[in-house]
Amino acid sequence: MGRVTSRTPVLRIRGAAHSTRPDTVAAEEPLEIRLGGTPLAVTMRTPGDDFDLVHGFLATEAVIASADDVAGLRYCNSVDAEGRNTYNVVDVDLAPGVQPPDTALDRNFYTSSSCGVCGKASIDAIRTKTRHDVAGDGLRVPLATLLALPDRLRAAQQVFDKTGGLHAAGLFTADGELVALREDVGRHNAVDKVVGDGVRAGRLPLAGHVLMVSGRASFELTQKAAMAGIPVLAAVSAPSSLAVELAADVGITLVGFLRGDGCNVYTCTERIVLPDGAQEARRTSAARDTWGEPPVP
């Protein structure tokens, strides 16, 4: 298995003090995913939980629906200059009857650590339809539980403590219990690893859960949440306009700027349970937005 971190010498400057010292950085290496020996995708990732990553990628790209659709997978020989296996190629055998995607039509799967959809041809090609009724999910999350998630995510980030350079994705219950956490240089890889953990454990769809991510909420992360059946996606940073549009379309509660004692809820706000006073304020505000004035009691 490749290394999660590596050591490199740096010139450390802190004010007037200068020193040379080793520093720990997050590892980034390519992972090639093959289907029956045929290359399908290459993504830049942090080594570790690669089989979770592969399962999650295939599930969120609608190639598989469950772990039963995978007959087997293995690391292939991918040697470095010294003849050592780099563990950077995984070959997947799909179960009988599972059709591989036709990547020659209108998209390809080549990705980077910063953007998992850079190679896809059009917005229509990546708006993959989910198998799950996300909009019908009855999850309700108390605001206090939601506000506590960033600290719980951060507390579980072991590699980030060493490098400061990894994204994290965490799957939480409605009570704020951490179910799974994965770190990676690519935010989309971290999410795929969390989803893949659910696929391999037979827990898809991940209904009734909150997906918390350490960065921004992009279109792709919103799509991955929808494909996994996750009703709430929360991020410490901003969402994109396409993420908001997709969340509204599929019925995901999209939360951004989740930090400290506040957040912005962009879609499906009814899933966030506010304190009694705040609930009344929300009803009054909604009425004012609709009619110009609050309703007469």
CA 6 to chain centre: 24
Q: Listing from the earlier edge strand, what are the strands of the sheet with 262-265? A: 178-184, 167-173, 209-213, 232-235, 253-259, 262-265
Which residue among 115, 118, 263, 268 is the active-site one? 115
Q: What are the pLDDT tens digits along the chain (297 aa)?
A: 557 777 888 888 888 988 998 877 778 889 999 999 999 999 999 999 999 999 999 999 999 999 999 999 999 987 777 877 888 999 999 999 999 987 654 445 655 555 555 545 444 555 667 899 999 999 999 999 999 999 999 998 876 666 666 899 999 999 999 999 999 999 999 999 999 999 999 999 999 999 999 989 999 999 999 999 999 999 999 999 999 999 999 999 999 999 999 999 999 999 999 988 665 555 555 544 544 544 444
Eight-state DSSP code of residue 99: P
- Could you tell me the pTM of the whole model? 0.85
Question: Does residue 29 contact residue 53 with C-beta atoms inside 8 Å?
Answer: no
115 is catalytic: yes
Q: How far apart are CA 196 and CA 173, in angstroms?
A: 17
| CB burial of residue 272 (10 Å; 0-12, 13-18, 19+) | buried
